[in-house]
Amino acid sequence: MGAPPTVVEVNDLHKTFRPEVFGKPVTALRGVSFSVREGECFGYLGQNGAGKTTTLKVLTGLMTPTKGTASLLGKPSGDAHARRDLGYLPENPYFYEHLTPVEALEFYGRLSGVSPADVRARTPRLLERVQIQDVADRRIRGFSKGMRQRLGLAAALVAEPPLLLLDEPLSGLDPHGRHLVKEIVLEERKAGRTVFMCSHVLSDVEELCDRVVVLHGGVVVKDGAIHDLLDSEPKSFELTADRVPAELRARIQAASTHYRESGDKITAHVRGSILGPEFAAAVQGAGGRVLSLVPERETLETWFVRVTGTAGSARMGSDS
């Protein structure tokens, strides 16, 4: 069985913004290349100004690259028909303010080539799925940011596209909304759709995505599966136990970075991948009881800071 086909292909993408009259040109992308395979949930990460939005605009045909190519499902991204199979949720989506969600979904569905009957059939289901069915006939004008975000997701899904391009899909949502959107993303993934997601909330990316590309200063600095990028060995352990003899307590306290006692119970953070399990075994051997032993691995957040910090220095170095 071969690898799944490529859905998004970005190759040596450059984009330079030329000032209208005066000023220096600004380069947003400097040879970005990556690809997304069918069925993947792909995270596209980068700090503000890294070039994420520019890449998305090129992919959605809103911008033409200065150099390089971008294709969606094998067709150049500038070709309107390539976008027929794309569901795009921009960051802070804006709609025609005087339309209702039902009219908006009809509009977007029809623009993507869905028949009027199919749009009519899908609309109630979609509105229910994003849980804005109660405001289906109210004008969008009065909607909160979260309601707009949900409607934007429904608009991206209305054509049931094989590829979803989601720019900050969880921004502006309350905890319930965030949970709902995550559920939908996971469901879409399960249904075999490819999800391309930009987000600043790295824990969300870690939770949802298989693979990430990190962009910094218009250059791809990392590209890989999340489990490959993050260290698999635990960095530290949090041990919670009770009935621990005093001598053992003193040893654990001496080796911990954080140590807390509460009555008979102790909680200790110990560095490294060895000490934690060793202390747990010692507690059990001394007649104590291990309540929990939680390994602490590197998060995407700490990894991102580490990677972009290094890349940033490298970039600055190369610039100078």
| Residues found near another protein in the complex (CB under 8 A) | 17, 57, 60-64, 80-81, 83-84, 86, 88, 90, 92-99, 103, 107-108, 110-113, 139, 152, 155, 159, 165
Minimal distance, residue 209 CB to another protein, in Å: 21
Minimal distance, residue 110 CB to another protein, in Å: 4
Cβ distance to another protein smaller for residue 56 or 280: 56
Crossing angle (nearest 10°) for helices 101-111 and 116-129? 130
Q: How far apart are CA 275 and CA 272, in angstroms?
A: 6
Cβ distance to another protein smaller for residue 92 or 253: 92
One-letter amino acid of 309: G
Minimal distance, residue 206 CB to another protein, in Å: 27
What counts of helices (H) and strands (E) characterise the chain? 10, 14
Minimal distance, residue 81 CB to another protein, in Å: 6
Q: How far apart are CA 25 and CA 23, in angstroms?
A: 7
Beta carbons within 8 Å of 13's beta carbon, 6+ residues apart = 29, 31, 32, 33, 55, 58, 65, 67, 68, 69, 70
Beta carbons within 8 Å of 14's beta carbon, 6+ residues apart = 27, 29, 30, 31, 32, 65, 66, 67, 68
Strands (E) in 18-93, as ranges, are: 26-37, 41-46, 67-72, 75-76, 86-89
- Residue-by-residue DSSP string for 239-302: EEEES--HHHHHHHHHHEEEEEEETTEEEEEEESSSHHHHHHHHHHHTT-EEEEEEEEPPPHHH
What's phi and psi for 241, nearest 5 deg? -150, 165
Q: 3-state SS of 173-209? A: CCHHHHHHHHHHHHHHHHCCCEEEEECCCHHHHHHHC
DSSP H or E segment with residue 165:
strand 163-167
Cβ distance to another protein smaller for residue 99 or 201: 99
Minimal distance, residue 98 CB to another protein, in Å: 4
Minimal distance, residue 163 CB to another protein, in Å: 11
Minimal distance, residue 165 CB to another protein, in Å: 8
Minimal distance, residue 301 CB to another protein, in Å: 28
